[in-house]
Amino acid sequence: MRTPPRRAAALLLAAFSLAAASGREDTARLAARLMAARAKMLLSAAESQSIQAALLEWIDARMKAGDTVQSMNRELSAAGLLATWPDTLDQMLLKHAGYLEGIKSKPVQGAGDVLALEAGVYQGPGCSKDVTAVLYQRKPALRLGYLNAEPGNPKWAYYLSGLAVGERDSSGQRLVASGWVISNCTSTWNGKRIRIDRVGGASPENLLARDLDAQDREGQDSVSAWVRPDGVTFWYRGGLGDPLLMVAPAVVRYRIVGGQAERAAPAALTRAGFIREWLSMTDGEAAGWSDPDAAEAHKSIHFPTSAGPVDWLGAAECGGRAPAWEVAVKVDELKKEFVFRIAGDRATELRMLAVGSGYTDGCTPVDIFKDPGSLSGELPW
């Protein structure tokens, strides 16, 4: 939808008039950019990135001047740049391109000398807020870097969930772990993404970016993040692919070795979660969590991107000198049933022993319909 020339000119004039009240030329330039974007129903990636760059430059100038988040938002509000619509379904269907979310200070797990700001740009209708995380050294105010969930040519708009920053290493750089959620107002099963980046150098260096099958968590970050000397950890509510076992507590951990992110124990917090993760691993990853027979079986049943829908059919507890569990699963994408034999009573010990087509004699059946926690209950570490 194109805005008539007279109306477009009026919008630009309004932008300069509102921003002029602040007495700062960069606010007028930012306002002109945003007002022009309001003629669009949906911004292109290039248009969104252009606005993002102008906003980050604007924030940098305010940080160097010692402005607070509150004073920045007052200035943006006075220029008519902040979103002020009510949170209703009717309003969500309208276009929002050309508006900003108020700048927010984001709590950071880990380094206390780092300030994180969230800068949100609306790209179009609905919940299209795309957030940039901007990291600053507090004293003196120095930008360490900025992060997006999907930089370059993003397919979706994401908002920031959990954020953790490590201490400076010998080169002055820091590890940053971040969780992201696709902006969506109609579901709790919005796409999730995790990232591990290194900031403090000439430009951020990405060490890991991967998607998660996860549900939103009320009252807390949908994806929590921690950075410790021994690695990076993300917690979330993971999908299990079946109406019987929809979600369970989930974790994914990495250690950084030679500039690479490598999976670390535990791979999951539950038996069902471990099977889902194992199915989603590459052959090389799965070998690290498998006995030789199971590693060989993985080559014929794994999925490159996700484990897909599954039906949890039953389970059996196998005692003896080497206690194990056997779990019967129908993998819909392959139209096959498997029995996965796994060991480990602690999350850090979970391991795939074998993959077969039936239960082993002597194992005791468990009614997973009466006791779903046998598969989806969180195990101790």
Cα distance between residue 212 and residue 86, in whole Å: 31
- 182 vs 112, which has greater pLDDT? 182
Handedness of CA 242, 244, 249, 253 (dihedral sign): negative
How many angstroms separate the Cα of 192 from the Cα of each of 149, 152, 179, 311?
Answer: 9, 18, 7, 23
pLDDT in tens, 16-60: 454 444 448 999 999 999 999 998 999 998 999 999 999 999 999
What is the mean pLDDT of the segment spanning 109-115?
A: 88
Is a pLDDT exceeding 80 seen at residue 332? no
pLDDT of 255 reads 96
Is a pLDDT exceeding 80 seen at residue 357? yes
What is the mean pLDDT of the segment spanning 132-141?
A: 91
What is the mean pLDDT of the segment spanning 229-250?
A: 90
Cβ(325)–Cβ(379) below 8 Å: no
Q: Which residues contact 90 (CB under 8 A, 6 or more apart)?
A: none
Is a pLDDT exceeding 60 seen at residue 277? yes
- For 172, the token pair is 């002055």
pLDDT > 90 in the chain, percent = 66
pLDDT of 1 reads 42
pLDDT of 111 reads 81
Cα distance between residue 177 and residue 119, in whole Å: 18
User: What's the burial of 293, exposed, middle or buried (CB within 10 Å: 0-12/13-18/19+)?
Assistant: middle
pLDDT of 307 reads 53
Q: Which residues contact 65 (CB under 8 A, 6 or more apart)?
A: none
pTM value is: 0.88
pLDDT in tens, 216-237: 998 899 999 999 988 999 999 9
pLDDT confidence of 153, banded at 50, 70, 90?
confident
What is the mean pLDDT of the segment spanning 89-102?
A: 82
